[in-house]
Every structure is written in structure tokens, then in C-alpha cells.
Amino acid sequence: MHAAHMADAFARLSGRPALLTVDAAAGLVNAVAGIQVAYEAQVPMIVT
């Protein structure tokens, strides 16, 4: 979860797209909240 919020902050502060790498199971479930916040704010984030 914290990785998604950190990627969101990085993209907002630097103006460059952030790269977020998550695990398929629990990692993705925990990252959904941060990814949603970034998506709603139209922050450029690449999720792999």
C-alpha cells in the first residue's frame, strides 16, 4: 500500500510517470487504494 502512495507522490512532485511493481496476490490487493487515488487525480503511473 505504501509503495503505491510513494509512487503517486513521486509522480506528482517530479512531473514524470512513476513505476509501481506489485505482486499478483496480496501486493495488488493492498496497492489498489493508492492506485485508485492516483487514477482519480490523473497522475501518470505505470503498474506492472
CA-nearest of 29, 39, 32, 26 to 4 is 32
What backbone torsions phi and psi does residue 18 show, to the nearest 5 degrees? -100, 150
pLDDT at 1: 78
Q: Residue 37's pLDDT is what?
A: 94
E strands present in 1-48 = 18-20, 45-47
Domain locations in the chain as residue ranges = 2-47
Nearest to 6 by CA among 16, 17, 15, 18: 18
pTM attached to this predicted model: 0.85
pLDDT digits (tens, 9 = 90+) for 3-47: 999 999 999 999 999 999 998 888 889 899 999 999 999 999 999
